[in-house]
Chain A
Amino acid sequence: MREMNARVVVIGGGVAGMETAGQLARAGCRVTLVEKNTRTGGHLNDWYHLFPDRRDSTEVLKYLEKHTRHSDIDMVTGATVESVIKNHKSLIVKIAEHEDLEAGAVVIATGFDLFKSERKEEYGYGIYDNVISSADLEKMFREGSVRRHDGRIPEKIGFVHCVGSRDEKVGNLYCSKLCCVTAVKQAMEIKKHFKNAGVFCFYIDMRMGGALYEELYRESQEVYGINYIRGKVSEVSENINNRLIVKVEDTLAGRPLKMELDMLVLMAGMEMSEGGQKIAKASGLETGGNRYFRSADHHFGSNLSRVSGIFYAGTCVAPMNITETISHARAAVMDVIDYLRNKES
């Protein structure tokens, strides 16, 4: 247990970082949690209800905050980590405009950035008033008011799946895993707000691979009457009445389709965070073709980097939902403890 006294620096105060820090502290480690924003919680601060059970996201946030309020956790917020450099047996964490931190182990939990929807120019995000992102809609749900830009209630709403995912044109070949189920959840929320609204999801294929996802998808059709149209939206424009015109190929009907909508929601995918990319580059840490951190082994070392003492937790290695992120963070804690106990002195 000699090395358990060494400090562990956790980089990133989102779900993965908070869970990692909390569990490490409970296991007896001294932890410094470094978060670039002034507030911890990461993307969770922006979400409304979580799938598959539509739990209020604040419940998860409260759980994480409770566990990170620990005497052995030093919280450093508003601080941007620049690099992690191996220095003999310890690791030096360089932080912009802060003193360096020396650590026995480092857990990188830098998470993901949402794909910037304006990069899919054909959808007109940031140009057409009523084209919004899935994150914008979450914010509207939280504020309790889903409205068009002109304040009117949207009667016909579309959801575009795979915005920035499975898309060679933007350099993201991978599936972000969560956008399909988020669209299903958000479509149902819309119907709860506006019972008579027409809701249409435009998808490539429905990837409902998580626990209870398929059931949710079914419920959305049977109970809420959500319409699913297999086909990718090719372009969006606006007509003189300020309504959106969406062109899509309905690949099941085998014909092009043009639809007038009041609001279009772009299901933004996940990308390796910009902060994570900078750390990877500055620290010489390996990344994959998808730009996420490359783990040492897919099966046995998902939390391990190729540098001893540096570990990964959560969506900095691949898209994950919150359940998976928490599990991945806990697994990282196991690896850190194992490392601190057994590393050569």
Chain B
Amino acid sequence: MKAEGKKRVWSEYQKEIADDHFFYVRSCIRQSFFPGSEQFFLHFMRNVLGKDVFENPSHTTCTGIGYHGDIVPFSTIQTVVARHFALMKESGYKNIAISCVTSFGIYTEIIETWKHFPEELEKTREYLYKATGREFDIPENMAHTSDIIYKFRNEIAANASYRLVNKQTGEPLNGVEHIGCHYSKMFPKYGVGGAEFPNVLGGMIETWGGKVVDYPERRHCCGFGFRQYLVQANRGYSLSNTAKKFNSMKPYKPDFVLTNCPGCNMFMDKWQYTIKEIEGTVYGQNGESIPVLTYEELAGLVMGYNPWDLGLQYHMVQPEPLLKKLGINYDPDDKFRTKDGRQMPVPQNLINA
């Protein structure tokens, strides 16, 4: 495999990522499933880099899951997104930072629709104005929050307490990167590195000392696929897609999976548990499963934050094997304690624990 070939592809997909003054829009599910991720992003941007990141409490879901589940019409989701843009305009921001790949895909799809079908834009302006009296501008700069972490990956490396290197062997850790279908597969120009050989997560892994695994089913869906999962009768199909991916990556002995999309993280994490329960299969080494991290969680680990403050214990696949490889000291007794020291209930059947 020729690394220079990938670099050539990346050079053709260099998107402009704003440097400061972001209007931040959260994901619906990330705060539940990976509660430390968005928190870390805001902390890193505001307190470490000193950037201006603004949140408007009136921001809502983008309704993307409903849209992909065929219960939210296109005109409705366009108007919801237009309302987000109106909140941004009212707050005085022009750069949007989106914390969810599903939402990011929705925003890109709608902006592209408006470019090619201006009548849809005019219709949406009218719907929003009639419903709320609001007006909006299309963002001048649109970035997924992983784009922003990618932009500042060198600053993270400069502040790193750990490198993505196996402390015992000195070898780079093997990282699987999974960008999620809706990040750039629809519109490659919106993704760092495009769609076929994306670099948004791979660039982070390599900058922080790890090695990116290129395996045959790298491009394959995580298994979520909206209707594959949302329609209960299709869940076996969802599971089989996840199994296909993990079977494909297994020979490369990944030490961790790094995800871009909340749905991907959830499914690649939780379906490992399900597959183990159903057939006893695990995909990591030494009978362990492969920890699945968000980019904020990985950045936080590299920068030396407490894994439990980053919320790693809320994944189904527990991170201890990865923490040991990195040489990170952690207090197992602290894992399910609140910040004021109260013991929380300990979940049963966690894997890798």
Q: What is the interface of chain A, defined by CB distance below 8 A to chain B? A: 118, 121-122, 124-129, 235, 237-240, 245
A238 contacts B5, CB within 8 Å?
no
Complex Cα spacing A121 to B9, Å: 8
Given A127-B2, A129-B1, CB of A238 within 8 Å of CB of B214:
yes
Of B1, B216, B251, chain A has the most CB atoms within 10 Å of the CB of B216
How many residues on B have C-beta within 8 angstroms of the other chain's C-beta atoms? 19
**Among the listed A118, A121, A125, A238, which residue makes an inter-chain contact with B1, where contact means beta carbons less than 8 Å apart?**
A238
Complex Cα spacing A128 to B3, Å: 9
A239 contacts B196, CB within 8 Å?
no
Given A121-B197, A237-B219, A239-B216, CB of A127 within 8 Å of CB of B252:
no
B197 contacts A238, CB within 8 Å?
no
Query: How many Å from the CB of B87 to the closest CB on chain A?
Result: 36
A129 contacts B2, CB within 8 Å?
yes
Given A121-B194, A127-B2, CB of A237 within 8 Å of CB of B8:
no
User: Which 7 interchain pairs have the tightest Cβ spacing?
Assistant: A127-B5, A126-B5, A121-B196, A237-B216, A245-B216, A240-B251, A239-B216
B251 contacts A127, CB within 8 Å?
no
Contacting A at CB under 8 A, from B196-221, are 196-197, 214-219
Cβ of B6 within 8 Å of any chain A Cβ, yes or no, is yes
Complex Cα spacing A129 to B197, Å: 15
Which residues from A are CB-within-8-Å of B9?
Answer: 118, 121, 127
A240 contacts B5, CB within 8 Å?
no
Which residues from B are CB-within-8-Å of A125?
Answer: 5
Which residues from B are CB-within-8-Å of A121?
Answer: 9, 194-197
Which residues from A are CB-within-8-Å of B197?
Answer: 121, 127
Which residues from A are CB-within-8-Å of B195?
Answer: 121
Annotate B113-129 by CB proximity to A: 1 below 8 A, 0 otherwise. 00000000000000000
Which residues from A are CB-within-8-Å of B218?
Answer: 237
Complex Cα spacing A245 to B218, Å: 12
Residue of A nearest to B4 (CB): A126
Complex Cα spacing A121 to B251, Å: 25
Of A121, A122, A238, chain B has the most CB atoms within 10 Å of the CB of A121
Complex Cα spacing A118 to B251, Å: 28
Residue of B nearest to A234 (CB): B219
Query: How many Å from the CB of B111 to the closest CB on chain A?
Result: 20
Query: How many Å from the CB of B1 to the closest CB on chain A?
Result: 6
